[in-house]
Amino acid sequence: MQRLRVNEMQEKVRYAATIGFFDGVHRGHRFLIDSLRGIACERQMCSMVITFARHPRQVLQQEWQPQLLSTLDEKRELLLRTGVDRVEVLDFDLAMSQLSAHDFMEEILKKRLNVGCLLTGYDNRFGHNRAEGFEDYVRFGRELGIEVVGGKALAVNDSNVSSSRIRRLLQEGEVEEAALCLGYPYSLSGRVVHGKQIGRQLGFPTANIEAADVCKLIPKGGVYAVTVSIEGDDKYYGGMMNIGRRPTFEGHHTTLEVHLLEYDGDLYNKKVTVSFVARLREERAFPDADALVSQMNEDKQRVIQILNAQ
Domain of residue 111, CATH code = 3.40.50.620
Co-location of 110 and 228 in the same domain: no
- Select the more confidently predicted residue: 199 or 17: 17
**Tens digit of each residue's pLDDT (9 = 90 or more) over 225-260:** 999 999 989 899 999 999 997 655 555 578 899 999
Would the pLDDT of 207 be above 80?
Answer: yes
The pLDDT, as a whole number, for residue 276 is: 98
Co-location of 22 and 127 in the same domain: yes
The pLDDT, as a whole number, for residue 252 is: 55
Co-location of 18 and 145 in the same domain: yes
Domain assignment present for residue 289? The answer is: yes
Query: How open is the CA angle 297-302-308, to the nearest 5 degrees?
Result: 125
Q: Share the mean pLDDT of the chain.
A: 89
- Residue 11: which pLDDT band, with cuts at 50, 70 and 90? low
Domain assignment present for residue 15? The answer is: yes
- Residue 273: which pLDDT band, with cuts at 50, 70 and 90? very high
Total number of domains in the chain: 2
Asked whether the beta carbons of 127 and 104 are under 8 A apart, the reply is yes
User: For the chain, what percent of residues have pLDDT higher than 90?
Assistant: 66
Co-location of 54 and 110 in the same domain: yes
Mean pLDDT of 159-175: 96
Is the overall model pTM greater than 0.95, yes or no? no
Query: Which CA distances in Å does 169 have to 20, 177, 180, 244, 280?
Result: 21, 7, 11, 18, 15
Would the pLDDT of 105 be above 50?
Answer: yes
For residues 270, 271, 275, 276, the Cα torsion angle rounded to the nearest 10 degrees is 70
The pLDDT, as a whole number, for residue 5 is: 42
Query: Which CA distances in Å does 49 have to 42, 46, 135, 200, 243?
Result: 17, 10, 21, 47, 35
Asked whether the beta carbons of 217 and 301 are under 8 A apart, the reply is no
Mean pLDDT of 197-212: 78
Name the DSSP class of 129: G
Would the pLDDT of 199 be above 70?
Answer: no
Q: State the residue range of the domain holding 142.
A: 6-160
Domain assignment present for residue 207? The answer is: yes
Domain assignment present for residue 175? The answer is: no
Mean pLDDT of 77-100: 93
Query: Which CA distances in Å does 60 have to 32, 54, 128?
Result: 27, 11, 11
Query: How open is the CA angle 147-151-152, to the nearest 5 degrees?
Result: 160
Instruction: Kindly report the CATH number assigned to the domain that includes residue 235.
Output: 2.40.30.30
Co-location of 207 and 118 in the same domain: no
